[in-house]
Chains A and B, each alone.
Chain A
Amino acid sequence: MDGFTLDVAHLLAGGLVLTSFVMLYQDRLYALLNVFALQALVLSLSVAWQAWIQGAPHLFITAAIALIFKAFIIPVALHRIIANLGIHREVEAVTGLGPTMLFGIGLVALSMVVMLRVTAGDDPLAREDIAFALSVVLLGLLMMITRSNAVSQVVGFMSIENGLILAAAGAKGMPLVVEISVAFSVLVALIVIGVFLFRIRERFDTVDVGVFDRIQGERR
């Protein structure tokens, strides 16, 4: 594996970390969704590149799932839900931007140190990619705990999943990557639906669909 392929793989993994930071920086919901779509795009490129250099065609399917599902369907769907339900469109952060970013850098440093120590003696490409993947996971968690908006927490969870897919794709010969990513996507869809069902219940004190029909009927 020559230097160029290594460098491109690194670059794409680093791009994923960069998009995580950009997501932490956003304070508007639509912009956050756009950046998430960008992260999904970079992820699919990265997985596709891994598929190419490892000669593992099933990873292409994973890349396609990431692209279609996460870069298009989910952001568009969330966009519409936000518009329809009239959700507050500013992301309130619990801590200021400066400390959050500083802490994010600390997390990246931590994950690099941990991973490089634990995997001493392995293939250098895999080591750094796993370190980057752990950084993405930790940054996604950071986003979940420092944002008080439900949509941003969902986005954070999905970026955790992106990190896991990156790690799985980087490790050569991991089976069932496709199946696992499909399973995760279904899980994510369930969580998104669940969050909004809770919101609906909060608003109307019920999730009984019959009640909605009646309310709609009254309005009409």
Chain B
Amino acid sequence: MVYAACLALSGMGLVAALSHLIGAVAPAEIVSPLGLPWIGAHFRLDALSAFFLALVSLSSGAASLYAVGHGREEREPERVLPFYPVFLAGMNLVVLAGDAFTFLLSWEVMSLASCALVMARHREEENVYAGYVYLVMASFSALTLLLAFGFMAGADGSYAFDSIRARMATASSTGVVLVLALIGAGSKAGLAPLHVWLPLAHPAAPSHVSALMSGAMTKVAVYAFVRIVFDLIGPPAWWWGAIVLAAGGMTATLGVLHALMQHDLKRLLAYSTVENIGIIFIALGLALAFRAYGLGSAAALALTAGLLHAFNHSAFKSLLFLGAGAVLSKTGARDMERLGGLIHRMPQTAFLFLVGCAAISALPPLNGFVSEWLTLQAILLSPQLPSWGLKLLAPAVGALLALSAALAAACFIKAYGVTFLGRPRTAAAEVAHETDRFSLVAMSLLAATCFIAGIVPSLFIDALAPVARSLVGDRMPAQFGLAWLTIVPIAESRSSYNGMLVFLFVAASGILAASVIHRFASHAVRRAPAWDCGFPDLNPATQYTAASFSQPIRRVYGSYVFRARERVDMPLPGELRPARIEVELHDLAWDWLYAPIARAVGAIADWLNPLQFRTIRQYLSLVFFALVVLLTGLALWS
């Protein structure tokens, strides 16, 4: 059916992209006459497009495979099935677009299709609200990108990417274009403070669509940013890197702190996407800064780190969302406070989800660690930058990066521990059973990708070399020939990492220890009730909940970042009502940026409302006066 067809097409796309990338072929271009009347529609496949095409195809292939198993459970499939292929097509076309019109058209198609998918389950009020906010933000991002392309194309309307490239080499509006691209692409990717739609929209969509939105669509936004800023608008100024770096650092920390406070599993994953996008933008900002000062190899390292993290994130975030979808469909609950003990009921899903959690927490030898390690090495190169602002910004952002990595690990300990470990908290969690085989295969594919990318990262880094060369003019040292599949970011004397060896070492030590102990010491096991210091409590409500797990962290950071307030209502002795604790958290971006704007818009709309209720004669006089004013203006001006 539909999903199987999408799976096949994604597979083909993946193969095509990989062959282009690894074969290092020259960019291929097609011009079709279907576009704007005077230039047609350009489609272009170069190294950058091939990389993102591979990324998108991997995610969409896994999601389609998952949906083959899960699509049967969809209650209103006619709201999802038509839009899904359109969504995939939109994403692929954005990556392949070779001129501004095709790009924006595909971008809009992608946004509208995903908006329709977000509102697929329209029976719940919050999904409709999420779709509305998403629509507003998507329109805003499209508008900003339209402005950006307008600036780039100039007055003579040269919309093809080649002509833009030639034109922008000598233009002066590059700074404006950067800011517009950052706002437009950043809001789609989830940069703070434009991220507020992401935690609303991503959880509301069906699970395979959530996986695609977090895993693939945000990366398409990253592609847009990279394409515009690195490729189309020519050499950067020093402050571009500073802005992107600061935005990335802020996004990463804010995203993960919010993720820690969530108890809805999918919302937690959405905020974690925000954090990882922040990390990608940190790496991209560094690449811009290095490029502005002509430090080619450092820029190549930073760019490779950022793009590799984009790939890794799409792999493990899709895996996590698919796992969360499996949990949702088998237990009917997204709220972690109603789950627990699922490792016994859904063992394979639990194992695959664990791989995803370990990958996103940057634990060696999986892939999250590799891209984070590369980003840290890039930050270590930043003392070479001559600008004072960047010299002070880089270590601060490095500290923020390290902080968000540690917080992410804590977040996923909580997510995994509360959902899968412990005892079941409700009846729904007690009767869950394992999900179907298609979903398991899809998740295993992604888990295998995470593992391979962690063990043999040199393949991926070398695959990214043509991209780096085309964008910053230099590349990282060739990795594939190095002994034992090590990766070396700058030079062997500086630092190196070998994922395979670390994995083999750890596995060998573990197996050795286990076999020695089982041979020479006891291997007896006895089952008994939990010790719990002698006070075992059979009620599963006494376990730690998600909110209690994050309470220490909320206490440390909460009052500054969320204006967290706790209210405790303790009954007096003798009263029978339960005690209540309420925690109030604010998303400051919402309170300070969006709420005032929404209020202003509402106020203006109210003020303009009387215009709806005029008589015919008043409308006619309005038209008449407008005409007179315009004619007067024309008379005065010419």
Direct contact of A and B (CB under 8 A): yes
Interface residues of A (CB under 8 A from B): 96, 98-99, 109, 113, 117
Q: How far is A190 from B556 in the complex, measured between Cα atoms in Å?
A: 41
Contact B392 A113 (CB under 8 A): yes
Those of B554-613 within 8 Å (CB) of chain A: 556, 559-560
Contact B560 A99 (CB under 8 A): yes
Is B637 interfacial (CB 8 A cutoff)?
no
9 A-B interface contacts by CB (under 8 A) = A96-B559, A96-B560, A98-B556, A98-B560, A99-B560, A109-B392, A113-B388, A113-B392, A117-B388
The residue in chain A whose Cβ has the minimal distance to the Cβ of B388 is A113
* B-chain residues with CB within 8 Å of residue A109 when the two chains form the complex: 392
The residue in chain A whose Cβ has the minimal distance to the Cβ of B391 is A113
* A-chain residues with CB within 8 Å of residue B559 when the two chains form the complex: 96
* B-chain residues with CB within 8 Å of residue A98 when the two chains form the complex: 556, 560
Q: How far is A29 from B635 in the complex, measured between Cα atoms in Å?
A: 79
* B-chain residues with CB within 8 Å of residue A99 when the two chains form the complex: 560
Q: How far is A209 from B257 in the complex, measured between Cα atoms in Å?
A: 59
The residue in chain B whose Cβ has the minimal distance to the Cβ of A113 is B388
* B-chain residues with CB within 8 Å of residue A96 when the two chains form the complex: 559-560
Q: How far is A98 from B558 in the complex, measured between Cα atoms in Å?
A: 12
Closest CB pairs A-B (n = 9): A109-B392, A113-B388, A113-B392, A99-B560, A98-B560, A96-B559, A117-B388, A96-B560, A98-B556
Chain B 361-393 per-residue mask, 1 if CB under 8 angstroms from chain A, else 0: 000000000000000000000000000100010
Q: How far is A99 from B560 in the complex, measured between Cα atoms in Å?
A: 9
* A-chain residues with CB within 8 Å of residue B392 when the two chains form the complex: 109, 113
Interface size in chain B (residues, C-beta < 8 A): 5
Given A98-B556, A98-B560, A113-B392, 6 more A-B residue pairs with CB atoms under 8 Å apart are A96-B559, A96-B560, A99-B560, A109-B392, A113-B388, A117-B388
Q: With both chains docked as a complex, state the minimum distance between the C-beta of B28 and any C-beta of chain A, in angstroms.
A: 50
Q: With both chains docked as a complex, state the minimum distance between the C-beta of A176 and any C-beta of chain B, in angstroms.
A: 35
Q: With both chains docked as a complex, state the minimum distance between the C-beta of B450 and any C-beta of chain A, in angstroms.
A: 35
The residue in chain A whose Cβ has the minimal distance to the Cβ of B556 is A98
Those of B532-556 within 8 Å (CB) of chain A: 556
* A-chain residues with CB within 8 Å of residue B560 when the two chains form the complex: 96, 98-99
Q: How far is A98 from B388 in the complex, measured between Cα atoms in Å?
A: 25
Q: How far is A134 from B574 in the complex, measured between Cα atoms in Å?
A: 62
* A-chain residues with CB within 8 Å of residue B388 when the two chains form the complex: 113, 117
Q: How far is A96 from B561 in the complex, measured between Cα atoms in Å?
A: 13
Q: How far is A99 from B556 in the complex, measured between Cα atoms in Å?
A: 12
Q: With both chains docked as a complex, state the minimum distance between the C-beta of A111 and any C-beta of chain B, in angstroms.
A: 12
Those of B328-343 within 8 Å (CB) of chain A: none
Q: How far is A117 from B389 in the complex, measured between Cα atoms in Å?
A: 13
The residue in chain A whose Cβ has the minimal distance to the Cβ of B559 is A96
Q: With both chains docked as a complex, state the minimum distance between the C-beta of A55 and any C-beta of chain B, in angstroms.
A: 36
Chain B 457-492 per-residue mask, 1 if CB under 8 angstroms from chain A, else 0: 000000000000000000000000000000000000
Q: How far is A98 from B559 in the complex, measured between Cα atoms in Å?
A: 11
Q: With both chains docked as a complex, state the minimum distance between the C-beta of A113 and any C-beta of chain B, in angstroms.
A: 6
Q: How far is A113 from B388 in the complex, measured between Cα atoms in Å?
A: 8
Q: How far is A140 from B56 in the complex, measured between Cα atoms in Å?
A: 55
Q: How far is A109 from B394 in the complex, measured between Cα atoms in Å?
A: 13
Q: How far is A168 from B587 in the complex, measured between Cα atoms in Å?
A: 49
Those of B377-416 within 8 Å (CB) of chain A: 388, 392
The residue in chain A whose Cβ has the minimal distance to the Cβ of B395 is A109
Q: How far is A42 from B505 in the complex, measured between Cα atoms in Å?
A: 48
The residue in chain A whose Cβ has the minimal distance to the Cβ of B389 is A113
Q: How far is A96 from B392 in the complex, measured between Cα atoms in Å?
A: 24
The residue in chain B whose Cβ has the minimal distance to the Cβ of A116 is B388
Q: How far is A98 from B560 in the complex, measured between Cα atoms in Å?
A: 10
Q: How far is A205 from B388 in the complex, measured between Cα atoms in Å?
A: 55
Q: How far is A117 from B388 in the complex, measured between Cα atoms in Å?
A: 10
The residue in chain B whose Cβ has the minimal distance to the Cβ of A109 is B392
Q: How far is A214 from B392 in the complex, measured between Cα atoms in Å?
A: 62
Q: With both chains docked as a complex, state the minimum distance between the C-beta of A98 and any C-beta of chain B, in angstroms.
A: 8
Q: How far is A11 from B559 in the complex, measured between Cα atoms in Å?
A: 37
Q: How far is A109 from B392 in the complex, measured between Cα atoms in Å?
A: 8
The residue in chain B whose Cβ has the minimal distance to the Cβ of A110 is B392
Q: With both chains docked as a complex, state the minimum distance between the C-beta of B400 and any C-beta of chain A, in angstroms.
A: 12
The residue in chain B whose Cβ has the minimal distance to the Cβ of A112 is B392
Q: How far is A113 from B556 in the complex, measured between Cα atoms in Å?
A: 31
Q: How far is A109 from B391 in the complex, measured between Cα atoms in Å?
A: 10
Q: How far is A98 from B556 in the complex, measured between Cα atoms in Å?
A: 9
The residue in chain A whose Cβ has the minimal distance to the Cβ of B392 is A109
* A-chain residues with CB within 8 Å of residue B556 when the two chains form the complex: 98
Q: How far is A113 from B559 in the complex, measured between Cα atoms in Å?
A: 31
Q: How far is A113 from B389 in the complex, measured between Cα atoms in Å?
A: 10
Q: How far is A99 from B559 in the complex, measured between Cα atoms in Å?
A: 12
Q: With both chains docked as a complex, state the minimum distance between the C-beta of A206 and any C-beta of chain B, in angstroms.
A: 43
Q: With both chains docked as a complex, state the minimum distance between the C-beta of A16 and any C-beta of chain B, in angstroms.
A: 22
